[in-house]
């Protein structure tokens, strides 16, 4: 079973950080990452983290989302709002099943209480996750959303899962390297002009987000092919 981390991006209320820590511990999760929190450490976080002070104590701070998920094999972005350039969209239960079927670290990423995740943060993840709710009131409190996802992960972890994969899965850092390599090759070949306003980089991310369980060796094959195509041809 993969290790699951909960990532809170730019949380504004420290009480929600503590409540999220408590929600995690009730479902057996302990890896909490905080990306640029507005106010932390704070006593409000301790007050709300009843019996989960250890989760808070062991949480890690990050300056940006990329560093919080770089070594993960997949990142799942939580949002109640559809995005034009969204990655694969799953409900919370399907996302939990997908996460549990992967090998390696996986991250569930939650946005700021008032604004949610930015488009760049969404594009840094491979999956978009929504929690089905009343259409007239679709937004959950941050800690409540963490609780729902943690519960689905807990239930899924208790079910029989398919045999563990043999090949190493690609990490987020592997995929970011591939995206950068593809863009560089596209520019050098004059297929893509960054000043043109083309959405090619975003479309490439969408394309690969639809390839489930991409392996590190497969990423290396694609990058090796790009390297070969970029070499000057001998006369």
**What are the pLDDT digits (tens) for 188-197?**
999 999 999 9
pLDDT value at residue 78 = 95
Of 1.10.10.10, 3.40.50.300, 3.60.40.10, 1.10.8.590, the CATH number of 172-230 is 1.10.8.590
Selected residue with higher pLDDT from 44 and 158 = 44
Q: Which of 133-142, 154-163, 166-175 has the lowest mean pLDDT?
A: 154-163
Other residues' Cβ atoms within 10 Å of the Cβ of residue 164: 10
Confidence of residue 165 (pLDDT cuts 50, 70, 90): low
Distance of alpha carbon 189 from alpha carbon 146, whole angstroms: 44
- Mean pLDDT confidence for 88-93: 89
Selected residue with higher pLDDT from 231 and 62 = 62
CA distance to 88, 147, 153, per residue, from 157 (Å): 22, 15, 6
Q: Which CATH superfamily is domain 4-157 in?
A: SPOUT methyltransferase, trefoil knot domain (3.40.1280.10)
Distance of alpha carbon 70 from alpha carbon 173, whole angstroms: 5
Q: Which of 22-36, 89-103, 111-125, 159-173 has the lowest mean pLDDT?
A: 159-173
Task: Give the start-to-end residue ranges of the domains of the chain.
Answer: 4-157, 172-230
pLDDT value at residue 163 = 46
Reported pTM = 0.79
pLDDT value at residue 139 = 84
E strands along the chain, which residues? 4-9, 31-35, 60-62, 74-78, 88-91, 106-110, 127-130
* Model pLDDT for residues 25-65, shown as the tens digit of each residue: 999 999 999 999 999 999 999 999 999 999 999 999 999 99
Whole-number percent of the chain with pLDDT over 70: 93
Other residues' Cβ atoms within 10 Å of the Cβ of residue 128: 22
CA distance to 8, 90, 229, per residue, from 186 (Å): 34, 31, 11
- Mean pLDDT confidence for 77-97: 80
Write out the two tokens for 203. 């479309």
pLDDT value at residue 162 = 47
Mean pLDDT of the chain, nearest integer = 91
Q: Indicate if 172-230 has the same CATH topology as 4-157.
A: no
């Amino acid at each position: 079973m993969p290790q699951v981390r909960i990532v809170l991006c730019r949380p504004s209320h420290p009480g929600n950080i503590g409540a999220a820590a408590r929600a995690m511990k009730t479902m057996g999760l302990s890896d909490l990452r905080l990306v640029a929190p507005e106010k932390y450490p704070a006593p409000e976080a301790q007050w709300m983290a009843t019996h989960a002070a250890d989760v808070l104590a062991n949480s890690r701070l990050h300056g940006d989302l990329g560093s919080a998920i770089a070594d993960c094999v997949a990142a799942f972005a939580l949002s109640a709002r559809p995005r034009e350039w969204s990655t694969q969209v799953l409900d919370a239960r399907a996302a939990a099943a997908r996460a549990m079927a992967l090998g390696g670290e996986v991250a569930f990423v939650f946005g700021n209480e008032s604004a949610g995740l930015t488009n760049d943060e969404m594009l840094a993840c491979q999956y978009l996750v929504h929690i089905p709710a009343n259409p007239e009131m679709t937004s959950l409190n941050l800690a409540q959303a963490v609780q729902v996802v943690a519960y689905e992960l807990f239930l899924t972890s208790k079910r029989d899962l398919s045999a563990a994969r043999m090949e190493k899965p690609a990490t987020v850092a592997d995929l970011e390297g591939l995206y950068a390599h593809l863009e560089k090759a596209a520019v050098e070949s004059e297929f893509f002009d960054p000043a043109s306003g083309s959405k090619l980089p975003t479309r490439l991310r969408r394309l690969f987000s639809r390839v489930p369980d991409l392996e590190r060796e497969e990423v290396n094959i694609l990058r090796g092919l790009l390297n070969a195509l970029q070499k000057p041809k001998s006369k």
